[in-house]
């Protein structure tokens, strides 16, 4: 009986010590949307696109109570890009997009609400999906450098959990998937701003 009481006392002490320490790390899982804009280019290539959904995983390490470094990995389900060329040729390309990024996060505290802003570099992998929507077009995987920026708000549900909603975006060059020949030249020489709204849950430890 004394041993049980001792073990329970130690566990209670560890729990109290853990709760007294400030959480310096968190992980989050979010649902995200991917919304590319319409693009009209100087090369007479117009790019229409559909929105899609996906998932985002993030890890934050707090440098100070109000600043953090963040690492992200995201993947979308399927975006359909439609390239309309000057010669009246339309080329549809279904694409799965992956994000690998890092960011500096600055947060502010108002009771249980924690607004934040972030920015950093990102790599985007545009992976054409080989299905009937792609047809016989020889579109190749393309990796592009991007700038990630965004802002959002976290609501503290408990000391260990919060709910986050954020507007994120990528600024990156419009991909051409290696199609730059005379008949199928998808080069636009343009950059676009892809909107990426997210909502998810974070766990602090």
Residues 178, 138: Cα–Cα separation, whole Å: 8
Residue 13's pLDDT is 44
CB 136 within 8 A of CB 92: no
Residue 174 is given by DSSP the state P
Q: Helix, strand, coil shares of the chain as percentages rounded to 5?
A: 10, 60, 30
For the chain, the straight-line distance linking the first and the last C-alpha, in angstroms and rounded, comes to: 32
The answer regarding whether domain 23-204 maps to CATH 2.40.160.20 reads yes
| pLDDT for 7 | 38
Go through the chain and tell me how many residues it has. Answer: 205
Rg (CA), the chain: 22
pLDDT for 180: 86
The DSSP-derived string for 18-65 is HHHSPP-EEEEEEEEEEBPPPEE-TTS-EEEE--EEEEEEEEEEEEET
Neighbours of 118 (CB within 10 A): 24
Q: What is the pLDDT of residue 4?
A: 43
pLDDT of the chain along its 205 residues, tens only?
Answer: 444 444 334 434 444 444 445 679 999 999 999 999 999 887 789 999 999 999 999 999 999 999 999 999 999 999 999 999 876 788 999 999 999 999 999 999 998 999 999 999 999 999 999 887 777 788 999 999 999 999 999 999 999 999 999 999 999 999 999 998 777 889 999 999 999 999 999 999 9
List all residues 6 or more positions away from 187 whose beta carbon is below 8 Å from its beta carbon. Answer: 43, 45, 176, 180
Q: Quick check: 32 and 48 in contact, CB under 8 A?
A: no
What's the pLDDT at 22?
64
Global pTM? 0.84
- Domain range summary for the chain, segments of one domain joined by +: 23-204
Burial of 94 (0-12, 13-18, 19+ CB in 10 A): buried
């Amino acid at each position: 009986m004394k041993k049980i009481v001792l073990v329970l006392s130690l566990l209670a002490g560890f729990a109290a010590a853990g709760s007294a320490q400030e959480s310096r790390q968190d992980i989050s899982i979010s649902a995200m949307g991917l919304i590319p804009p319409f693009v009209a280019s100087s090369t007479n290539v117009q790019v229409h696109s559909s929105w899609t959904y996906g998932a985002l995983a993030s890890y934050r390490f707090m440098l100070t109570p109000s600043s953090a470094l963040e690492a992200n990995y995201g993947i979308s389900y399927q975006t359909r890009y439609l390239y309309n060329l000057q010669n009246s040729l339309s080329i549809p390309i279904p694409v799965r997009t992956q994000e690998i990024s890092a960011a500096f996060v600055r947060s502010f505290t108002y009771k249980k609400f924690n607004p934040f802003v972030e920015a950093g570099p990102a790599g985007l992998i545009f992976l054409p999906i080989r299905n009937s929507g792609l047809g016989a077009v020889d579109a190749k995987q393309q990796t592009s450098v991007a700038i990630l920026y965004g802002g959002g708000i976290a609501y503290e549900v408990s000391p260990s959990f919060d709910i986050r909603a954020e507007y994120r975006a990528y600024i990156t060059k419009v991909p051409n998937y290696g199609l730059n020949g005379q008949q199928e030249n998808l080069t636009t020489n343009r950059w676009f701003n892809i909107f990426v709204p997210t909502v998810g849950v974070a766990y602090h430890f």
